[in-house]
Structure 1
Amino acid sequence: MKKAMRKVIAFALAAFVLFSTVPSFAATSISDQAKLDKLEELNVIKGEGHGIDGTKTMTRYRSIVMLLRLLGLEDEMLAFDYEGKDTFADAEGQNGYQQRLMAYVKATPELGIVGYPDGTFRPYREVNSQEYAKILLKALSYTEPEDYTWETVAAKAEEIGLVDSASDINLTDEFIVLNLAALTYDSLTLVSKGDNVTLGEKLGYPIVTTSLDINSVSSLNSTTQDVSLNKDISIAPSTDVFTLVDEDNETFEVLSTSLRANNTMVRLTTAPLKENALYTLTYNGVSYKFVAKAADTEKPELQSAVALTNTTVKLNFNEEVDVNALITSNYEINDLNVLKAAYDVDADENPIKTVVILTTSSQTQGTIYKVEVSNVTDLSGNVVDSDNDSFQFGGLAPDETKPELQSAVALSNTSVKLTFNEDMDEVSVENIANYEIEGINILKAERQTAKNEVILTTTAQTSGTIHKVVVSNVKDVSGNVINSDNDEFLFAGLAPDTTSPRLTSAVSLTNTSVKLTFNEDVEKVTAENIANYEVEGLVITKAERQTAENEVVITTSEHEAGKLYKVKVNNVTDLSNNEIDSDHDEYLFAGLAKDTTAPRVSGAVSIDNKTVKVTFNEPMDEITAKLPYNYYFGSELGYPTKVVKDTVVTDGTVWVLTTGAQSSKIYTVDVTGVNDLSGNVVDEDHDTAEFAGIGSADGTAPKLSSAVATNNNTVVVKFNEEIDKDTVEPGDFTFTVESGTESSSNTIADAAHPTQASIADDNKTVTLQFATATMSAGVIYKVTAADINDSTGNTIITGTNDSALFAGTTVDNDAPRVTSAVLFNNQTLRITFSEALTITGDLDNSDFSIEPSDSDVEFTGTVNNVVVSSDKKSVTVYYTGDTFESGKLYTVTVAADKIKDALNIDALDTTDNRNEAVFGGINSDVTSPKISGVIAVDENTIDIIFDQVIESTLSSSNADDIIIKYNNEVVSATDALVREEGTEGNKLRVFFSGTPFDSSKVYDIELEDSKIVNKNGTVMSSSDNSAKFATVTTENKDPELASAVALSKTQTKVTFSEIVAGVTVGDVSGEFTLSGLTVTKVEACEDGKSFILTHGATETGDMITVSVSAGSITDEAGIGNVNTSETVKFVAK
């Protein structure tokens, strides 16, 4: 009794004294009276006689009586023998009831009710909130004086959210039953110190739910994990109820929790987890395994905006966006109000989270609008990319055309499908009063996923009778009422389905399961009632209707092998409620022996860069087969993040795994813990399979994401992925007018195709420019791309994501001009231009004229070198001879003959001195080049770094050009190749034959100084031509095949581990072999490492092995021969 009492006492203390608690825990804010009513409903508070009087003052004895009643202890108190028992000093003189109560309280210290310092109880004294707040703190596991004192009760109550303000706790305010009820209700929503659930849950009076009934755990990304629940909860749990560890038992912090998916999912923000690694989340002693996904740092992008109607706009994002995409204030459209934002839906009414439909105020036809998106995030919390957060679209005219009924077809004896010529308003078409069929009642009307279709549920039709449905008052989505000339349609009535379903087969699947097949779909409830099946000699424990709704699998006790059994079916109905045909309700099947043979992994094949199919030799148990941590790909790929049954081979032998990004190499999948249908675990000797990973190659066509006019003859288009620059031609892009009227005669729509097309370094962005044609303002254009391939050979699909809209502009395209000139030293001048340039031929002295500002100053230097910057926006001119004087001003004039804009259309602007710039002379002299350092790359390769850009004529054929010494003695080191390294112009790479250097020694290098010259023509000094370097033991490995990627059925790109020499390029080559296919052509790529092989056609999905014969193939220096033992594999397209 004492143990049981302690449990309810904890509740009573809270219920008795709680004043106010954490507001956010309650689902809604409700009145004190509503709280009192709820507690009365839960039987927590009872009235005295004629119900509960909420206005009654709470005295000390009355509150204690209520407390005991709440605890179920009133009868115990009434039976308590108080005679001669210890009691309070003021018990004498009280009536017998009061004396019994006071003695009982004295004998039950667990209640936490004490007397006053003078030993009295004072039963008629009114209760104050501070007394109850103190008891409440004790009930919530706070202790005195560690957590609070009498003086700090109010402050502590405010701190933990017990009250909104400490001033609510005092000794003077009247405390009535209604206050008590409110406090009691709120107390049930509060979590005690050190506890994981609310007080109400703990004591069986849940006002809110915090305890988790976990179904599974899955990863959204490296720092976001989702805990799916079997039932919803009211508040997010605290982070400390979870423990998260990896396979090495290292703990990872759970940083925050939040509720999602209508409170059926808890989203955890965690410390960063490793991609494709296995983790275990523990809650209440139960562990849940999951595989972490990669970190998502990519910001979502708005890819398009298209007006669907006069009041709706469809936005397409490049990835799924979160629910903040449904907040209207996150969208701004010039001159329009955004009234609503909603996800688009698929055929099953599931949200398509990459598409948002905006409802707007009425648009104006021909007006160009721009929608701007802010604060919208993807599912990982990345905010929309500020460079891709807006899009233009053309307004549409209001739809004033009335909808028409196009057809009516009976689907069954009680349903009719109506089809309209356009999408219809849901409210009006689901009003059954808007339909009439003579002699038939309309029971229900439902708009379908195809929003121009409505299905009517009716009373029974008459078979063979021509019925007429008349529609009135229904509207299209623009509010137009149905056309009265097209509002009715005839349809033929169907006879009711009175045919009973039949059992057509029964087949044993395992020693304890049988699949029953019916001749039509059966109703789920009757099909899954085990009482509806009989098998003599077997006990039926489960019946489950399958995805194919005419199939039911029953689970039975164990069969006797070879024994003939008969299954008898009763009461199972079809979808029209017809019971099983009694003449076709039983079937014979043969019992199977118990399966004790372990299943085997038959094989694995990569489907794409992140998908692998694993095949078993028999159907596998779905529960164990779908657990990602039962599959392991090694340290590189780790575990899959998702496993689903194949949609083509659906018998459970084939499973589809989502992996991390694969490389073009061979992987091994190791399967553990997966059972067959009989519970046998996969055979340890046959639980692995090799497969060829598919690298960055993909089978997805590129998409044209956006188009923006930068001026009146230039448009920048962007693709969603890298494209093959060799497939980009001006004729691949076609311009048309989408809406509006062009004002000029020579327009880009007339021209149709741009004059030039230039692809940027990101290989995603293409600049299109017209030589003479221009666009018009107020016109919406469409650019359509064709014959564009991505980097792996996939061609853009005509009619699918191959076009983009943009608004015309009248802003002129300025010709390039000189913007500045500045000296690096007194003989080196950098000239910067307003944009990237196309330079035809070599720039020389004739292209630059120097004019000093002072007539007494003359500059006679000549141009020795001109270097164009990598961004093509500047040139550096290196002079020799004369120098620019410090403190003098000069004007440089650039000739326009060889210089045009990046697309080679507009020449350098020479009007108004736009090809000139003024600069001041400086006194910094040109210095001769020096060696800054020497770094050993490997055991026979070094890099020589200079302090400035140089030109070298060092040659491997001249032994005196590069001399190596150790302790002042010349070392025999033959340089096999000397070449420029990198793009900065200040580094040389030298390859030596053999291994001329000993490890851990410091050598001297000495160069022929006359063969190192800077761009001004200054030769290296003999005092600056040497340096020391330390050797390394890193081996210079022989070149070998590194990867192979299928570009098409007849072309494959193979790549070596380094630049190679000696590959026979041409129409025939015997140096490469592809699984017996004949190589008919070899083409070299620019990087010197990759080659395109043309060969016989491959079969999609074949694993192809590429090998190379030695022949004459070496590294670029001719030092190491190709390693012929290494092969690479790939999966054919």
Structure 2
Amino acid sequence: MRTQMKIIMGLLIMTSLVLLTEPISAQESKDEIETVKRLGLMKGYTGELTDEYLSEHATRLQVAIIFLRLKGLEDEAKYYKGTNSFVDYKEVAWIGGRNILSYLKDNPNLGWSGHKNMFRPNDVIDAQAFYKIMLEALGYRLDKDYKWSEVITFAKNKGLSKVADIKEMTNRHLAIALVEGLQALTTDGVKLIDSLDADGIISENSTNIGLENTIVKGNMISARCIDTTAILALFNQEVSLDIEDFNLKDIEGKKYNLKYIEKLPNERGALLISEQLEKGMLYTLTYKDNNIDIVPIVEKDTVAPKIESAVSLEGDLVRVIFNTRNIRKNTLGVDYFTIDSTLDKDAMVTDVQLDDDEMKKDNNRNKTVVLLRIEGLDSGKVYTVSSQQVESYNNEIAAIGESKCIFGAIQMDNKSPELKSVSSVFGNKVDLVFDENNLLDEATALNKDNYKIVPHLEILDIIIERNTLNDDNIIRLTTSNQQNTVYTIEVKNISDGMNVMNQSKSMVFAGQIKSDYQSVNDVKVIDSTTIEITYAYDGNETVLDIANYMIDNGVLVVDAEYKVNTANNNVEYSKVILTTTPMQSKLYQLSISETAQDQLGQPLREKTKLTFAGLPLDTIFDDNITALTLDTFTVKLTFNEVLDETLATNIRNYYIEGLGYPAQACLSIDGKEVVLTIPKQQSDIYKVRINNLVDKFGNLIKNNTVVVFAGIADIK
């Protein structure tokens, strides 16, 4: 039986890999290949895109060159004469290719900073990495507009999805994805191909290349009920909308009439007005072939948008929170805000941006948060920020003088980043702590020329370990191996985007001796198919090679990846998560090959063997679930299981007795918490009925599992 289980799991794994890399036929990609050839984006080895070439895997260096072509920087990079490069530049024999690596190393703002000072030029690229590059070309920025873990989802919302499941892209996949990207809209609202044409990078536009009508007529990416008669639908691009394209039905299949549609400026969205719906009941909105479940959670939203708080973050930046999420975005411009003071009449709002990160916090889930840039504020003075004509989707507007809040201006940051402390970490890293209330400028922070260590230590890599407002910020340097001596580091030119260090600053730190070998600190069993290994030092790509791991008693290692810290979404390169075939409740021995290396390429001294106790296969969904009310519209469910994301975020799988279905179900990064947005509670006891959830092992929750929580009412 155990042998059968291992065979079945092995077949499932191989089947999933086959499905993820299913080839696209030559006929299916014919038009795309002609397009990239005509535009000169792909040239092959001889100028021809042969079937042999199209079947080859696409490499990181190859995609980097295409990225530079899209930027009009290929020739500049190819003939660049720089002194810096990645440590693995010798993997490229072509001089032009080496010049390109040096160019990318010296221009980290292009988004090719590599990992651990390695570029891995010959590695095969996957869809996640490629779509990150296309998003950069469209004007979106990693960690500002989206997180690394959100690349595929964010790209899909921008119309990029044709190769989303491909783990190892071929040149044929590359052609298809490039043409898809050319048709996507940039952050300026124009197609990428037309932007390249306008910039003189290519001499073709969407009309004469035949792409003007090839985009699908918009995908509906989200929809929600504002109340029982108003529905907000958002799309991945600007679309021409017709009410006949939409359909609305309840859970029993009954059709509901949509009365009219209003296209929303600046939102890629539409407001749909329907006949009366029932609060807490589930409906399905269909746009063409796309279905989204929606639930109204208020009868009639008559709330007028009002400012409920304002706080000065620094100098000219003020965070303003409105009492509702129901706000037309085109009424959040600079003309809708005024700044008043009895002592100063010159302050004015110059920019308004949604504070997306702040709106993701639990206490702001139903509110709108904006950041105002205000010119003319004086430190120490008290001001009143007011909004006028900020309008809800239901056309509610606060009365004159009702939407305002007082805040005290704080001093404009005229201080450049100040080096606060320096310390050695692990014998091959140096942490620099800066006293800076603003964000550090990445370009200056990641520039090797701004650091010098005496006695000489080579700086191999630089990362920004922490970069937040109103807190100490940390830059981490990776160096060659240190000695047990005193070093002096000189730092210069670090900026916060407004202020630059006007003179260099030097500090001393005590070096530490790093072992010449990698070592293993710990092995921990997470569950019956998951093991966490902690190395003494950050590893390079060799610690992700499953060939370096062997477990006795017939257990196979099927995957290895770095651990991601769920608290801050940072990758922990010293910790590796192994996925295995199922273990039992017995002792196992894990052998790690001496070829597993740290980031400097230093291996284990010898093969390392560790004994651990396995856990039996989880065959039951743990129904020990707790529920906690966060506010009158929100309840959080906490599980002891890692949940399947698709099922956990399906609102059909939850029902609150006395209230109805939730309007939204959001899963936490660790997969163990679900936050439900529900109809308004009262001070009562409620039961959540849960169905169809599955844990990571495929165990199904019991039908109609009930979790109880105490509701809260509005405090008047």
TM range (shorter): 0.5 to 0.7
Question: Structure 1, residues 50-86: CA drift from partner, whole Å, max 9, x if none?
Answer: xxxxxxxxxxxxxxxxxxxxxxxxxxxxxxxxxxxxx
Structure 1 residue 490, shift from structure 2 partner: 2.4
After superposition, residues 537-616 of structure 1 pair within 5 angstroms as: 537=554, 547=564, 550=575, 552=577, 554=579, 556=581, 568-569=591-592, 583-584=607-608, 587=611, 592=616, 595=619, 599=621, 601-602=623-624, 605-607=627-629, 609-612=632-635
Which residue of 2 is the match for residue 455 of structure 1? 475
Q: Tell me if 1:631 matches 2:654.
A: yes
Q: Secondary structure at the match of 1:624?
A: helix
Cα distance between partner residues in 2 of 1:376 and 1:249 = 37
Cα distance between partner residues in 2 of 1:603 and 1:509 = 19
The 1:531–1:347 alpha-carbon spacing in structure 2 relative to 1, beyond 3 Å, is farther
Q: Tell me if 1:488 matches 2:502.
A: no
The 1:269–1:529 alpha-carbon spacing in structure 2 relative to 1, beyond 3 Å, is farther
The 1:313–1:586 alpha-carbon spacing in structure 2 relative to 1, beyond 3 Å, is closer
Cα distance between partner residues in 2 of 1:575 and 1:260 = 46
Cα distance between partner residues in 2 of 1:379 and 1:494 = 61
Cα distance between partner residues in 2 of 1:600 and 1:633 = 20
Task: Give 5+ residue unaligned stretches, structure 1.
Answer: 1-7, 13-35, 45-179, 191-199, 201-207, 698-720, 723-1133
Question: Structure 1, residues 753-795: CA drift from partner, whole Å, max 9, x if none?
Answer: xxxxxxxxxxxxxxxxxxxxxxxxxxxxxxxxxxxxxxxxxxx
After superposition, residues 409-808 of structure 1 pair within 5 angstroms as: 409-411=423-425, 413-420=428-435, 423=438, 426=441, 430=445, 432=447, 435-438=451-454, 439-440=456-457, 448-450=467-469, 453=473, 455=475, 457=477, 459-460=479-480, 462-472=482-492, 479=499, 482=501, 487-496=505-514, 500-502=518-520, 504-505=522-523, 507=525, 509-510=527-528, 513-518=529-534, 533-534=549-550, 537=554, 547=564, 550=575, 552=577, 554=579, 556=581, 568-569=591-592, 583-584=607-608, 587=611, 592=616, 595=619, 599=621, 601-602=623-624, 605-607=627-629, 609-612=632-635, 621-634=644-657, 636-643=658-665, 652=672, 657-684=676-703, 687-689=704-706, 691=708, 693-696=710-713, 722=716
Structure 1 residue 581, shift from structure 2 partner: 7.0
Tell me, yes or no, if the aligned pair for 1:604 and 1:689 is still in contact at 8 Å. Answer: no
Which residue of 1 is the match for residue 306 of structure 2? 301
Question: Structure 1, residues 610-644: CA drift from partner, whole Å, max 9, x if none?
Answer: 4556577876545434433212123x311233445
The 1:692–1:576 alpha-carbon spacing in structure 2 relative to 1, beyond 3 Å, is same
Question: Structure 1, residues 35-54: CA drift from partner, whole Å, max 9, x if none?
Answer: x998932899xxxxxxxxxx
After superposition, residues 139-158 of structure 1 pair within 5 angstroms as: none
After superposition, residues 154-165 of structure 1 pair within 5 angstroms as: none
Where is the helix percentage greater, Structure 1 or Structure 2?
Answer: 2
Q: TM-score, normalised by structure 1?
A: 0.36
Structure 1 residue 696, shift from structure 2 partner: 1.2
Q: Secondary structure at the match of 1:185?
A: coil
Q: Tell me if 1:188 matches 2:211.
A: yes
Structure 1 residue 672, shift from structure 2 partner: 1.8
Tell me, yes or no, if the aligned pair for 2:689 and 2:707 is still in contact at 8 Å. Answer: no
The 1:482–1:659 alpha-carbon spacing in structure 2 relative to 1, beyond 3 Å, is same
Cα distance between partner residues in 1 of 2:536 and 2:358 = 24
Amino acid at match of 1:640: P
Deviation larger for 443-452 or 636-645: 443-452
The 1:401–1:539 alpha-carbon spacing in structure 2 relative to 1, beyond 3 Å, is closer
Cα distance between partner residues in 2 of 1:514 and 1:387 = 59
Cα distance between partner residues in 1 of 2:523 and 2:496 = 49
Structure 1 residue 518, shift from structure 2 partner: 3.4
Q: Secondary structure at the match of 2:208?
A: helix
Structure 1 residue 545, shift from structure 2 partner: 5.3
Cα distance between partner residues in 2 of 1:367 and 1:625 = 49
The 1:419–1:627 alpha-carbon spacing in structure 2 relative to 1, beyond 3 Å, is same
The 1:233–1:692 alpha-carbon spacing in structure 2 relative to 1, beyond 3 Å, is closer
Q: Tell me if 1:250 matches 2:275.
A: no
Tell me, yes or no, if the aligned pair for 1:347 and 1:450 is still in contact at 8 Å. Answer: no
Cα distance between partner residues in 2 of 1:460 and 1:498 = 11
Which protein, 1 or 2, shows the higher relative CO under an 8 Å CA cutoff with sep ≥ 6?
2
Between the aligned residues of both structures, percent identity stands at: 23
Q: Tell me if 1:331 matches 2:337.
A: yes
Question: Structure 1, residues 579-613: CA drift from partner, whole Å, max 9, x if none?
Answer: 66753356566584683x5x474565553544556
Task: Give 5+ residue unaligned stretches, structure 2.
Answer: 1-26, 43-202, 340-344, 566-571
Cα distance between partner residues in 2 of 1:468 and 1:436 = 8
Cα distance between partner residues in 2 of 1:498 and 1:211 = 56
Which residue of 1 is the match for residue 186 of structure 2? none
Structure 1 residue 371, shift from structure 2 partner: 4.0
Cα distance between partner residues in 2 of 1:477 and 1:508 = 43
Tell me, yes or no, if the aligned pair for 1:500 and 1:581 is still in contact at 8 Å. Answer: yes
Instruction: Give the alignment partner of residue 408 of structure 1, picking from 393, 411, 422.
Output: 422
Question: Structure 1, residues 552-576: CA drift from partner, whole Å, max 9, x if none?
Answer: 25253x67x7787665555666677
Equivalent residues, number: 496
Cα distance between partner residues in 2 of 1:656 and 1:309 = 32
Cα distance between partner residues in 2 of 1:565 and 1:347 = 46
The 1:527–1:632 alpha-carbon spacing in structure 2 relative to 1, beyond 3 Å, is farther
Amino acid at match of 1:255: I
Which residue of 1 is the match for residue 8 of structure 2? none
Tell me, yes or no, if the aligned pair for 1:437 and 1:470 is still in contact at 8 Å. Answer: yes
Tell me, yes or no, if the aligned pair for 1:508 and 1:589 is still in contact at 8 Å. Answer: no
Deviation larger for 657-666 or 250-259: 250-259
The 1:611–1:564 alpha-carbon spacing in structure 2 relative to 1, beyond 3 Å, is same
The 1:619–1:610 alpha-carbon spacing in structure 2 relative to 1, beyond 3 Å, is same
Question: Structure 1, residues 266-314: CA drift from partner, whole Å, max 9, x if none?
Answer: 7774636544322334466565545444364423322355556664445
Tell me, yes or no, if the aligned pair for 1:220 and 1:226 is still in contact at 8 Å. Answer: no
Cα distance between partner residues in 2 of 1:236 and 1:527 = 50
The 1:531–1:402 alpha-carbon spacing in structure 2 relative to 1, beyond 3 Å, is closer
After superposition, residues 236-385 of structure 1 pair within 5 angstroms as: 242-252=246-256, 253=258, 255=261, 269=272, 271=274, 273-282=277-286, 285=289, 287-294=291-298, 296-305=301-310, 311-319=316-324, 324=330, 327-333=333-339, 334-343=345-354, 355-363=369-377, 370-376=384-390
Amino acid at match of 2:511: G
Structure 1 residue 418, shift from structure 2 partner: 3.3
Instruction: Give the alignment partner of residue 39 of structure 2, picking from 41, 45, 54.
Output: 41
The 1:671–1:515 alpha-carbon spacing in structure 2 relative to 1, beyond 3 Å, is same
Structure 1 residue 407, shift from structure 2 partner: 2.7
Question: Structure 1, residues 154-173: CA drift from partner, whole Å, max 9, x if none?
Answer: xxxxxxxxxxxxxxxxxxxx
Tell me, yes or no, if the aligned pair for 1:209 and 1:234 is still in contact at 8 Å. Answer: no
Q: TM-score, normalised by structure 2?
A: 0.54
Cα distance between partner residues in 2 of 1:669 and 1:425 = 45
Which residue of 1 is the match for residue 402 of structure 2? 388
Q: Secondary structure at the match of 1:552?
A: strand
Structure 1 residue 324, shift from structure 2 partner: 4.8
Question: Structure 1, residues 478-520: CA drift from partner, whole Å, max 9, x if none?
Answer: 75x6576x9433233344575535384464845xx34344356
The 1:341–1:404 alpha-carbon spacing in structure 2 relative to 1, beyond 3 Å, is same
Q: Secondary structure at the match of 1:607?
A: strand
